[in-house]
Amino acid sequence: MTGLWTADEIAAATGGTASAPFTVTGVAFDSREVGPGDLFVALTGETTDGHRFIDQALAQGAAGLLVSSPVAAPHVRVADSAAALQALGAAARARSGARIIGVTGSVGKTGTKEALFAALDRFMPGRVHRSVKSYNNHVGVPLSLARMPRDAAFAVFEMGMNHAGELDALTRLVRPHVALVTAIAPAHAAFFASEAEIADAKGEIFRGLEPGGVAILPFDSPHRDRLRAAARPYADDILTFGLGTGADVRATESVRIAEGTLVNAVLPKAALTFQIGLPGAHWVSNALAVLAAVEAAGGDLPAAGVALAELAGLPGRGARRRVPLPDGEALLIDESYNANPASMAATIRELGHAPGRHLVVLGEMRELGEGSADYHRALDAPLIEAGVALAILVGPAMAPLAESLEGRIAVAHVADAGAAERMLAEHIRPGDAVLVKGSNAIGLARVVSALAGEIG
């Protein structure tokens, strides 16, 4: 594998001192993720110190260390390893000739990032880099940058936030050529006075645009004009995507087929008919955003169309699988990684199109502030419209929804994921379609694993 960083390059980027020559092929700050040839960054935080895990990282094959304390192994020593990781990310960005795409949004950013990667990788296989998992914060973004190969032709970086000002710092580090906002919804509403303030915070992504950069934003959003105003001082061009007449990238027709959607789309300089391998109106919107970004970044639209047809859901973010039961099987829709009011409603409505009896395991939505009770209660309409036969609701914040649904559909309000797992095991039967969704902190991934037979 081509060397990613030499010890001298790391020292030059971070202002550190190298103990010995070495070359690394990857970067990690979680010792559990270290692989042969990696640079292990020993971060020091409020609750833990990465220096405690150096022996584990070396045992797993780390070729070098980035540390702030002396160690008896090849390393670069710096004053502050977190600041050094930021500097290494900035150096990776400075040396790269890749076309950079930054992605944010209240919903859909991880799926859109993955779809963009697939679309561009179809065009230039092996020359596209992206953030892994949801490494989208003040530590994850510089890590993703530091991992960017020298010869990358394209790179896609996800950027998240839960407070104003956070995206401003991240986007100035990433310096995208294309900046995309997927959608605005009341995620992290506890930290903002209004949804308009959330839109303003998401609009910070445009501040890091390179000269000649392109801003892409959702045409159908009530915050479209607010986002456009945020982009105008920084973007050379602004593209919108959506279903409404006037969108620059627009679906003129979409038809549900099997477990996907067939879409006719028009773009400023092209038209494309393509299939999306994942179902749902939200995926039509995501796909249009992908096409807009591919065109803006100089990618290939036909290749993007092929990639969109091949999409499969990510674990915790829409993956669908058949799980075995004693007398047959059931459909499991795994949305266990995250939840907010918009994504909850969208996935519940999508469940309504699945064959069979509909069951849901829904974990409470976190960080919704004073509106939490109303946001949870409002899920009653999509649940009833979807024909849900049993709703297993997890966590204290689900109480308003449980009360609203009482007497209308079967409801079980339970304290935790373990209780939800047991309740689902008692009621699931062959032919059912089961949606599992909630904020990651609720731990519904264990419900998915148990149903799929991955744990006893």
User: pLDDT grade, residue 454 (50/70/90)?
Assistant: low
**Domain end residue (candidates: 55, 80, 105):** 80
Query: Are 149 and 281 part of one and the same domain?
Result: yes
pLDDT per position as a tens digit, 420-453: 999 999 999 999 999 999 988 899 999 999 998 8
Split into its structural domains, the chain has a count of: 3
Instruction: Produce one character per residue of 395-417: b if its CB has 16 or more CB atoms within 10 Å, e if not.
Output: bebbebbbebbeeebebbbbeeb
Nearest Cα neighbor of 230 from 104, 93, 361 is 104
Half-sphere exposure (Cβ direction) of 234: Cα atoms closer than 13 Å: 24
Which pair of tokens denotes residue 268? Answer: 């400023």
- Burial-class residue 235 by CB neighbours within 10 Å (0-12, 13-18, 19+): buried
376 HSE (CA, 13 A, CB side): 28
Q: Which amino acid is at 335?
A: E
- Residue 100 has what DSSP assignment? E
Q: What average pLDDT does range 56-79 have in this prediction?
A: 97
pLDDT of residue 455 exceeding 50: no
Residue 314 lies in a domain: no
Q: Indicate if 245 and 378 belong to the same structural domain.
A: no
For tokens 């040396």, what's the residue? 95
355 occurs within a structural domain? yes
CATH code of 17's domain? 3.40.1390.10
In angstroms, the CA 375 to CA 189 distance is: 10
Q: Which of 258, 278, 309 is the last residue of a domain?
A: 309
pLDDT of residue 317: 86
329 and 440 inside one domain: yes
- The rounded distance, in Å, linking the Cα atoms of 134 and 336 is 14
Rounded CA-CA distance 324/326 in Å is: 7
pLDDT of 2 higher than 80: no
User: Could you list the residue range(s) of the whole structural domain that residue 65 is in?
Assistant: 5-80
Same domain as 416, residue 336? yes
> Model-level pTM?
0.88
- Listed in sequence order, the residues at least 6 apart from 387 whose beta carbon sits closer than 8 Å to its beta carbon are 352, 358
215-247 pLDDT, tens digit each: 999 999 999 999 999 999 999 999 999 999 999
Strands 214-218 and 5-6, by their bridges, are unpaired
Do 326 and 301 lie in a common domain? no
Phi, psi of 332 (to 5 degrees): -110, 125
Domain CATH number, residue 406: 3.90.190.20
As beta bridge partners, residue 412 has 392
